[in-house]
Structure 1
Amino acid sequence: MGKTIKTNALRILDKNKISYEAKDSIDLSDSNNPDVDASLIHKTLVARGVSNELYVFIIPLNNELDLKKAASAAQEKKILMLPEKELLPNTGYIKGGCSPIGMKKLYKTFLELSSSKMEQVIVSGGKVKFRVKLKPGDLMQVVNAEAVDLIK
């Protein structure tokens, strides 16, 4: 067994004594992968409100973010997805490896309401194809997230 990659996200989880399971090389396009319950996998989306503030939304992979619900949660008139070229300078992460944990700043973060009731969720571990499985309550605690209805 190889040495586990220690990303910023994992260092933060360790520092907060949060138990997690790191999963390397998860190919999200392989829905037949027996190691992965696709319903647990979540994507991290970053959006900007009209106030110019950035917000983080964590929703199930196979769902679409409802921008009206997201704007309402963020108390913004309107929000737009952050252009890909702005992701790295603002979060420290690249597309496909954007973890809600360990961004350059702790942005206001929202977790899909139904996800907050799950036993486990899988989010990016801060590197492409690298995932972290943990309890949604622990995730919410470490990123100071709020559970709200976000999906269409």
Structure 2
Amino acid sequence: MAKKKPVKTNAIRLIEQQKIPYTEHRYEWSEEHSGADEAAKQLGQTEKIYKTLLAMGNKTGPLVAVIPGDRELDLKKIAKASGNKKVEMLHLRDLETTTGYIRGGCSPVGMKKLFPTYIDSSAETLDTVIVSAGRRGLQMELKPADLAKVVGADFVEILG
């Protein structure tokens, strides 16, 4: 039987180019179960799973929020942190054209452009976080500081 070839997404390539240590995690997904909650359930590491959300600021345009998978983004807090008066969630139909990623496989690393990125400050208390590696069913675990460095992120309180 042939060995499965490792998947090299844009996110993983970027992490490897920066020589950042990471661990891959794979899980089964389906159209109905492709979110952070499914990854957390299958990987058994709920507190480490962080989801990537895209929003639109009235001044900055697209911005990225990385928050715990079981929590909600506070639009007022991210607006303030990003220097916007108003922030709305990006329409799902615009996700792929904006980022190059699809729902359930959106990584904060390796988007088409480097957008202003904000990681919830809760991540700083963890040794590692698990975020999408750019494909459904594929996650990567790395240190929060390394994630922030590669995407130029700030740690801020953005939870609702």
The TM-score bracket by the shorter chain reads over 0.9
Q: Where does residue 56 of structure 1 map in the other structure?
A: 64
CA-atom RMSD, angstroms? 1.5
Q: Where does residue 32 of structure 2 map in the other structure?
A: none
Normalised to the residue count of structure 2, the TM-score between the two structures is 0.89
Gap regions ≥5 residues in structure 2: 30-36
Task: Say if 2:139 is the partner of 1:102.
Answer: no
Equivalent residue in structure 1 for 2:137, among 122, 125, 129: 129
Change in 2 beyond 3 A, CA 1:115/1:94: same
> CA separation in 1, counterparts of 2:10 and 2:156?
26
Compute the displacement of 1:32 (Å).
Answer: 5.1
Spell out the pairing of 1:131-150 with structure 2 (5 A cutoff).
131-150=139-158
Compute the displacement of 1:25 (Å).
Answer: 2.0
Maintained 8 Å contact 2:60/2:84: no
Compute the displacement of 1:134 (Å).
Answer: 0.4
Q: Where does residue 29 of structure 1 map in the other structure?
A: 38
Change in 2 beyond 3 A, CA 1:31/1:92: closer
Q: Deviations over 1:28-82 (max 9, x none)?
A: 437554x431110010000001125110000000000011101011110010000
> CA separation in 2, counterparts of 1:30 and 1:115?
17
> Partner letter of residue 51 of structure 2?
K
> Partner letter of residue 13 of structure 1?
I
Gap regions ≥5 residues in structure 1: none
> CA separation in 2, counterparts of 1:77 and 1:71?
6
Maintained 8 Å contact 1:26/1:131: no
Maintained 8 Å contact 2:51/2:131: yes
Q: Aligned with 1:139: secondary structure?
A: helix
Q: Aligned with 2:38: secondary structure?
A: coil
Q: Where does residue 38 of structure 1 map in the other structure?
A: 46
> CA separation in 1, counterparts of 2:113 and 2:82?
16
> CA separation in 2, counterparts of 1:30 and 1:6?
19
> CA separation in 1, counterparts of 2:41 and 2:85?
40
> CA separation in 2, counterparts of 1:111 and 1:7?
21
User: How many residue pairs align between the two structures?
Assistant: 151
Equivalent residue in structure 2 for 1:19, among 15, 21, 25: 21
Q: Where does residue 93 of structure 1 map in the other structure?
A: 101
Q: Which runs of 4+ in 1 moved over 3 A?
A: 30-33
